[in-house]
Amino acid sequence: MKVLVIGGDGYCGWATALYLSKQGYEVGILDSLVRRHWDNELQVETLTPIAPIQQRIQRWRQKTGKTIELYIGDINNYAFLSKALGQFKPGAIVHFGEQRSAPFSMIDREHAVLTQVNNVVGTLNILYAMKEDFPDCHLVKLGTMGEYGTPNIDIEEGYITIEHNGRKDTLPYPKQPGSFYHLSKVHDSHNIHFACKIWGLRATDLNQGVVYGVLTDEIKKDPDSDNDEVDELLINRLDYDSVFGTALNRFCIQAAIGHPLTVYGKGGQTRGFLDIRDTVRCLELAIANPADAGEFRVFNQFTEMFSVGSLAEKVKEAGAAMGIKVQIDLLENPRVELEEHYFNARNTKLIDLGLEPHKLSDSLLDSLLNFATKYKDRVDKDQILPKVLWKG
């Protein structure tokens, strides 16, 4: 099958493109490269030095003999998107091509508008392009567990059956997003659901938890070895800054440079998490088991649930085992969110399709800490503390 990975130069997109290519899919990458522009705007660099996308793809071809087609442009430009789809003719579209940072969307009005226009309009363009020319194509869209918020009831996978005034119905699960970024994802979900209903499109929404890690077999120098040595031209990005850095990755990098771990508020915020290796496997499972025509499926894509505080404690323990003294600081929370709450989410659909999760373990934390230590000279300590306040 031909799979077009929109946003294939990004963190999840690059790992997914290489994994699918290795599995025998004919892969194309479509990307505007705007994520690299945002690094320049924020004056921060990924911890790992990533090569230009053309060099990455060339190295992959040299290493494996497999070709990845490249289309550079913006999906908000419908003419470009339609032309690229017409040239590649995908059987499935993996859609990572969105601004994915909650703090970025909360910087100011301009960044909130940018996030919502980029994300919502881009997705609408994809839906119209599918309707016009590729009605049988399967859209696999990256959503987020953050769409749900932190309700005081169990979180189902996309839909909930309720009884009200003696009548029963199955409805989309209520959404309580916590940022303008998360709101854009909710708008996406509603638009995709509606398009499937009226046009008979097929789509899978992957409500993903927080992803951690950088090492996948595809970027290793020797994929059959237990050695973590990587191919420098294939290495994935690893963000640690307060805008794009995710919790566990950020904690490991802070530990490596001797900076206190930055836990916001009380640290009781609980979320779903998963290894980057499980992210790519989930995408493969969704592609290999497509939704039916007219169906809008929702899978909750995470493997374990942790509070932010418990993650910090795990990093502290792993650091101690490696001779690294780790301090944990509780910072005033820059966000508006519950810091202690009930959180219990379902995640059985991908398991039923065959996902065998990687669990967060001491060995994985060692790997992350080793990565962080190797590149710690690239860390800009001025980028670690939060700079974006939800209340402005």
pLDDT digits over 74-88, tens only? Answer: 999 999 999 999 999
Q: Residue 308 corresponds to which amino acid?
A: V
Q: Check whether 225 has a pLDDT greater than 90.
A: no
Active site residues: 144, 181, 185
Q: How far is CA 105 from CA 113, 117, 213, 272, 298, in A?
A: 8, 11, 24, 21, 24
Confidence of residue 367 (pLDDT cuts 50, 70, 90): confident
Domain hosting residue 275, numbered range: 2-383
Residue 392 lies in a domain: no
CA dist 210 and 144 (Å) reads 8
Q: The pTM is what?
A: 0.98
pLDDT band per the 50, 70, 90 thresholds, residue 263: very high
Interval 239-256 mean pLDDT: 95
Measure CA 331 to chain center: 25
Given its phi and psi angles, is residue 337 left (phi above 0), alpha (psi -120 to 50 degrees) or beta? Answer: beta
**Whether residue 366 has pLDDT greater than 90:** no
Distance (Å) of CA 221 to CA 109, 288, 357: 44, 28, 24
Q: For the chain, state the CA radius of gyration.
A: 20
> What is 61-92 written as a DSSP string?
HHHHS---EEEES-TTSHHHHHHHHHHH--SE
Give the separation between CA 234 and CA 227, rounded to whole angstroms.
16
> Does residue 352 form part of some domain?
yes
Tell me which H or E stretch contains 261: strand 261-264
Does residue 113 sit in helix, strand or coil? helix
pLDDT tens for residues 36-51? Answer: 999 999 999 999 999 9
If DSSP codes are grouped into helix, strand and coil, which group holds residue 186? helix
pLDDT, averaged across the chain? 97
Contact assessment for residue 104 and residue 115, using Cβ atoms and an 8 Å cutoff? yes
When pLDDT is cut at 50, 70 and 90, the band that residue 222 belongs to is: confident
The DSSP element (H or E) to which 162 belongs, if any, is strand 159-164
pLDDT at 364 (0 to 100): 77
Evaluate whether residue 389 is within a structural domain: no
Number of separate domains in the chain: 1
pLDDT of residue 193: 98
Q: Beta partners for 227?
A: none
Longest dimension (CA), the chain: 64
> Is 46 within a domain?
yes
At residue 136, does pLDDT exceed 80? yes
How many CB atoms neighbour CB 210 within 10 A?
19
Residue 42 maps to a domain: yes
Asked, for residue 388, whether it belongs to a domain, the answer is: no
d(CA 202, CA 287) in angstroms, rounded, equals: 11
Using CA atoms, how far residue 297 sits from 46, 158, 204, 289, in Å, is 33, 8, 5, 11
- How high is the pLDDT of residue 57? 98
CATH of residue 310? 3.40.50.720
- Antiparallel, parallel or unpaired: β 26-31 and 210-212: unpaired
